[in-house]
Structure 1
Amino acid sequence: MTLLNKKIPTSTTGIFYKEIINNDKIVVDKVFLIRYKDEIGRDKLKTIGKYSQGIRIGYCKTIRDQTMVKLRLGENLPKVTAKKSKYTVHDLAIKWLDLKKANKTYEGELQRYNATLKKLIGSEIAEHLKKQDIINLQATLQDMGYAPSTTQHFITMVSGIYQFAIQDKLIKSENPCAGLKSIKFNNERDRYLTTEEVKQLIEAVSHELELLLFIEIGLSTGARLGSIMEMTKSDIDFRNESIKIKNFKTSDKYTGYLNSSTLEILNLHCKSLKRGQKLFSVGRSYVSYKIRGLMKKLFNEDVIDDYQKVVIHTLRHTFASHLAINGCPIYTIKELMNHKTIEMTERYAKLAPNQGQVQVKGLYR
């Protein structure tokens, strides 16, 4: 790999990049730099990072703006001194995350923070961040390709970190996320699998028993990924052809029903399991990785809109959609999906056939 010397200007003032080429002279990456003037007017260049590391123009602009403000106000203190006397965002984030260790969401939040927020704002002095910095962070996250819902989740995390720090009197500044407009997005997925697509998917996993079992249970019960992976042999009632499902959002259990093909596979699979043993010997990450790959190959190759892509949650949406298409009453769908309110289920009502037509035609005869 070779870093070329030529600085290429971007559309944003003071931000440049240099290209990295491989042995075949093909550009494989780029390094972003910012240019600004120091206290006595000399031009300064500072390397920010590589595109492959998630660095984007929005983030570079944030760093350049902060640098210039500090120079203008005389706040460009040595980093060592600043860190000793003030908390960084990372210092506060670690304390905030420690409080969540008992929660099921802890691992996911920790991974998200380390992969993104730590790199983008972790080294910043917490009391120096202002509302405009968070607006810039929003733009950077979207530049990095994150969906609006994911970007909003990151901003909510930052707000939570600051709220905790303010309540514990670790910092005296205001929450820079306060009053920030939420990103508008529609995260409802209308995509569900047709009967033919269901057959395609089942055929694609038929060579691996536990993947096939996962797909069958998902299509038969509409259970979420986490709920399926925690199911045990004891949860199954073969006599009543049902299974207990744990809803990790509410920590309660509800009943799902098993169709004939799912029961057939479970009967075979459970012969080698002890009572109370989990149905799946493989981990959640393995199942998720394998099925996502299959779904991409089968259904998502040419799909641009993320919300029209087939994902694991599409199995749940397919379950409810086909119930509605087959005339299942909306309140029954609500119970089978374990929805908290009927409003959550009403999105499927548009798929239901016009069941009242026959009854209306039979009136007064």
Structure 2
Amino acid sequence: MGQVERQQSGGLDELAAIWFDHHGKELRAAEDTYKRIKAAIAALKNPIASEFNAQVFAAFRSQRLDAGISLNTVNREHAYMRAMFNELIRLAVWKRDNPLKDLRQFKVQENELSYLTKEHIAVLLVELKKSTNPHVDLVSRICLATGARWSEAEQLQPQQIRQRLSQFARTKTGKARAVPISQGMQDEIFIHHAKHKNIGAIFAGCTGAFKEALERGSIQLPMGQLTHVLRHTFASHFMINGGNILTLQRILGHQDLKITMRYAHLAPDHLDSVRNLNPLVS
């Protein structure tokens, strides 16, 4: 039995290990992606690779949904497994078709994005100031001022702040972007770093302190949403205040404009041209 045949007669976990060694470890979120793939394989009870097919995975995801796992999570597991097989095919490790190539993901109904009103923001800022965590207030305000993801702001390094620009390098898409900040915020960041002298990063973890501030302020968010509300709040107010959708796309770092378009309806002049350009206007 050749090496390829042995690999396909072994468990899925063996293929995942090969995928990681030859490709996965070079990904930006390598360890996290591998962890999720291994967790999915363990939940599948590590079937023999040659016996794994769309029917096996379809039954597995039905069980996951029955157990209360969200559609988004099941779709992510599907995407990770399909991408793993695609790469194994390119590596000539897997000689068959991708077992998940014809299995479609579930369509997820997009929920309306929630954002904080000006009144909510005012309450939140007061509660953040009360926190015993010295980092949560400034991290939150950076997110509100730039549209940064929480992890991007929390992991900022001193060298990423220069010339009134916040340069986000550790982004979800892997592409760096720079967003303007005020001189006052830039000065505050450097003063904060000098005062707390964290090794490497400017801030330490403060997600828990953010959650506590929301609770003290009685600010209710949809289930599953926490710090990301700050990014939605930046984008929503940017459009409400007359911002340009293409500019917003660059600020947020979205590769696909369709994602940014979720905020378009908040613009004050959204669809106003309907009044003047419909066929009944003479």
- Counterpart in the other structure of 1:232: 157
Identity fraction in percent = 22
1:18-37 equivalence runs, <5 A: none
SS in 2 for 1:209: coil
**Contact 1:288-1:312 at 8 Å conserved across structures:** yes
Mapping 1:205-220, distance limit 5 Å: 205-206=128-129, 207=131, 208-220=133-145
The verdict on how the C-alpha distance between 1:327 and 1:93 changes in structure 2, with shifts beyond 3 A counting, is: same
Q: Secondary structure at the match of 1:243?
A: strand
2:32 to 101, 104, 108: 108
Write 1 or 2 for the structure with the bigger share of strand.
1
Partner of 2:206: 287
- Asked whether 1:154 is paired with 2:77, we answer yes
- Counterparts of 1:184-333 in structure 2 under 5 Å? 184-187=107-110, 190-206=113-129, 207=131, 208-237=133-162, 241-246=164-169, 248=171, 249-258=173-182, 262=185, 265-266=188-189, 268-272=191-195, 277-280=200-203, 282=204, 286-292=205-211, 295=214, 298-300=218-220, 303=222, 306=223, 309-333=224-248
**Mean Cα deviation higher: 180-189 or 289-298:** 289-298
Q: Which structure has the higher relative contact order (CA within 8 Å, separation 6+)?
A: 2
Q: Conserved in 2, the CA contact under 8 Å of 1:233 and 1:273? A: no
Q: Distance in 1 between matches of 2:159 and 2:27?
A: 25
Match for 1:257: what amino acid?
I
CA distance in 1, matches of 2:98, 2:258: 33
For the pair shown, which has the larger CA radius of gyration, 1 or 2?
A: 1
Q: CA deviation at 1:251?
A: 2.4
Select which of 9, 23, 29 maps to 1:86. Answer: 9
Q: How does 1:45-194 map to 2 (within 5 A)?
A: 86-98=9-21, 99-114=23-38, 116-187=39-110, 190-194=113-117
Alpha-carbon distance, 1:219 to partner: 0.4
Code of the aligned partner of 2:54: K
TM-score, normalized by length of structure 1? 0.61
Aligned to 1:337: 252
| Alpha-carbon distance in structure 1 between the residues aligned to 2:211 and 2:139 | 13
| Offset at residue 294 of structure 1 (A) | 5.0
Deviations 1:241-285 (A, max 9, x none): 44223362142332232385x4574253143378x95311x2xxx
Structure 1 residues 289, 173: closer, same or farther in 2, change over 3 A?
farther
SS at match of 2:177: strand
Change (3 A) 1:335 1:169: closer
Q: How many residues align?
A: 263
**Counterpart in the other structure of 1:52:** none
Match of 1:7 in 2: none
CA distance in 1, matches of 2:49, 2:154: 39
Counterpart of 1:34 in structure 2 is none
- TM-fit CA distance, 1:148: 1.5
Q: CA deviation at 1:95?
A: 1.4
Residue pair 2:8, 2:48 contacting (<8 A) in 1 also: no
SS in 1 for 2:31: helix
Structure 2, unaligned runs of 5 or more: 1-5, 276-282
Cα contact 1:222–1:316 (8 A) shared by 2: yes
Take 1:137 and 1:356, find their aligned partners in 2: how far apart are those partners?
44
CA distance in 1, matches of 2:169, 2:180: 10
1:158-194 deviations in Å (ceiling 9; x for gaps) = 2233334444454555432121122101456511111
Give secondary structure in 1 for the equivalent of 2:114: coil
CA RMSD of superposed structures (Å): 3.4
User: What amino acid does structure 1 have at the position aligned with 2:152?
Assistant: S
The 1:264–1:137 alpha-carbon spacing in structure 2 relative to 1, beyond 3 Å, is same
Please, what TM-score do these two structures have when normalized by structure 2? 0.77
Identify unmatched segments of 5+ residues in structure 1: 1-82, 361-365
Alpha-carbon distance in 2 for matches of 1:108, 1:140: 23
Higher helix share: 2
How far apart, in 2, do the equivalents of 1:296 and 1:86 lie?
52
Cα gap change, 1:199 to 1:259, in 2 (>3 Å):
farther
Alpha-carbon separation, structure 2, partners of 1:242 and 1:85: 51
Q: Contact between 2:161 and 2:186, CA under 8 Å: does it hold in 1?
A: no
Partner AA of 2:150 in structure 1: L
